[in-house]
Structure 1
């Protein structure tokens, strides 16, 4: 099992990793820092190969990233016949209705707002992990 997290904020990446580990997740966690790097990871281009970039079981995607933002990356993923089967959870600081609507229009599987409290983040990660990795059957 691999979770891929696309987030440009180093603190957020660290908190997500800690929350995942505290939730009991023991599998692979991969990180990319922006939408361009995300697409290279998924397409095994640039510095990424099939050996260094295993296919993720779940993508956790931030919206506000440099070079290619989360909206652009999500559209590219869902427009690609090979990549569109990847479950994508947007996790962002935004709770704006227009962001929620736009991501669902683009094909996101879930939208959650990042909590500002670490304990709440752990609770959210447990729920995401339980649902996406333990409950549903993924392709």
Structure 2
């Protein structure tokens, strides 16, 4: 069980500004101890990781410009400092090919992005339970 503080980050990577904001709100509701940090794509996420404390996990969209979610996971898995960070792909895609591609890249989980905020908040609670095992 990890100990959380108000400086414990979770990195949310999504090219859609509204989705980033909604994810941030869902995390604040589900676990105010975490600090949501944001990146617009995989390249910005890699840059952010170099200057921020290590996140408890990364929640990333799959389809983004420059460096998509699967490519981000591939880059993280070859870097010794970042390879153990859990990465969850959260996508609107329901394609088995996309799911397989993400797992082959090294993703820890692949979940479908909910359409309703209440469902998104519940998804975040579930992710926290699985990846942190403590939601206060």
| Fold shared by both chains (TM-score > 0.5) | yes
Where does the alignment leave 5 or more consecutive residues of structure 2 unmatched?
1-7
Q: Distance in 2 between matches of 1:28 and 1:122?
A: 15
Cα drift, residue 134 of structure 1: 2.2
Q: For the residues of structure 2 that align with 1:109 and 1:95, how far apart are their CA atoms?
A: 17
Aligned to 2:42: 35
1:20 positional shift: 1.2
In the superposition, the TM-score normalised over structure 1's length comes to 0.86
Q: How does 1:55-94 map to 2 (within 5 A)?
A: 55-94=54-93
Q: How many residues align?
A: 127
Aligned twin of 2:11: 4
Write out per-residue CA displacement over residues 29-73 of structure 1, whole angstroms, 9 at most, x where no aligned residue: 10011111111112x2xxxx3xxx111111001111111111211
Give TM-score scaled by structure 2 length: 0.88
Q: How far has the Cα of 1:22 moved from its partner? A: 1.7
- 1:28, distance to aligned residue in structure 2 (A): 1.2
**1:74 to partner: Cα distance:** 1.1
Flag the 1:56–1:24 CA change in 2: closer, same or farther, 3 A. Answer: closer
Asked whether the equivalents of residues 27 and 34 of structure 2 are also in contact (C-alpha less than 8 Å), the reply is no
Number of the residue aligned with 1:103: 102
The 4+ residue runs of structure 1 with deviation greater than 3 A are: none
Partners of 1:32 and 1:89 lie apart in 2 by: 15
Q: Could you tell me which residue of structure 1 aligns to residue 3 of structure 2?
A: none
Residues 82 and 125 (structure 1 numbering): CA distance in 2 closer, same or farther, change over 3 Å?
same
8 Å contact kept, 2:12–2:37: yes
**Gapped runs of 5+ residues in structure 1?**
none
8 Å Cα contact 2:71/2:105 also seen in 1: no
Pairwise CA RMSD: 1.2
- Structure 1 residue 27, shift from structure 2 partner: 2.0
